[in-house]
Amino acid sequence: MREAHLPKADFVTSIVVMTLGGAALVLSWMMPTFREVGAHRYSAPGVVPGFLGVVLLLLGGVLFVRSIRSGGYRLGVTFEGLRAFFVSASIARFFAALVLSMAYVLLLGKVNYFFLTLVYILTFILAYELWLEKVPRSRGKIWAFAVGEAIVVAAVISLTFRYLFLIRLP
């Protein structure tokens, strides 16, 4: 991305970040507090998401003000600019990550957690190493690394949640 486009990207990004922060804050406020069972108010499940929502709102606001001062609100959107944007490699990577992540979220709870996480990590690595990055490397080494990393990471995450955080996973 050219230096001249950074304030415009910051402007759009700040709006997205502030929207996500506001949504996190509102949704965390709506979460149960468990006061009726005598739980402490700081042990409510919405405390951390609410705090993160406030942080996102504040940092998004700072980015928003900085982008406006730099003239980022003058987007100058054209058809050719949009076309070039949507055929870029960075957008292909973004949509690949979005589709893989949405599939993971939709299957969560319906498929064994360890297996789903293993397949997600393996697919993510292979998608980026074999399809999206055009760097010539040994496919065998890429597959071996991807399978090994997927097994280790899925096992560590599953065991951490199960035995350290005492959370039963689907």
pLDDT tens digits, one per residue of 26-63: 999 988 877 766 777 777 788 889 999 999 999 999 99
Asked whether residue 63 falls in the same domain as residue 142, the answer is: no
Asked whether residue 109 falls in the same domain as residue 92, the answer is: yes
Asked whether residue 100 falls in the same domain as residue 169, the answer is: yes
CA angle 77-82-87, nearest 5°?
Answer: 160
Residue 63 contacts residue 10 (beta carbons within 8 Å): yes
Q: Domain limits at 154?
A: 79-170
Residue 119 has pLDDT above 90, yes or no: yes
Q: Of the residues 76, 101, 123, which one is the last residue of a structural domain?
A: 76
Q: CB-side exposure of 79: number of CA atoms within 13 Å? A: 0
Number of domains observed in the structure of the chain = 2
- Of the candidates 18, 32, 17, 25, the residue with the CA atom closest to the CA atom of residue 50: 25
Q: Of the residues 29, 57, 76, which one is the last residue of a structural domain?
A: 76
Asked whether residue 71 falls in the same domain as residue 85, the answer is: no
CA distance linking residue 128 with residue 141, whole number of Å = 14
What is the enclosing helix (H) or strand (E) of 109? Answer: none
Q: Of the residues 50, 76, 102, which one is the last residue of a structural domain?
A: 76
pLDDT in tens, 135-167: 667 778 889 999 999 999 999 999 998 888 888
Tell me the pLDDT of the chain averaged across its residues.
86
Asked whether residue 59 falls in the same domain as residue 91, the answer is: no
Largest Cα separation within the chain, whole Å, is: 60
CA distance linking residue 35 with residue 55, whole number of Å = 25
Asked whether residue 111 falls in the same domain as residue 162, the answer is: yes
CA distance linking residue 126 with residue 150, whole number of Å = 10
Whole-model pTM: value is: 0.62
Q: What is the model's pLDDT at position 91?
A: 82
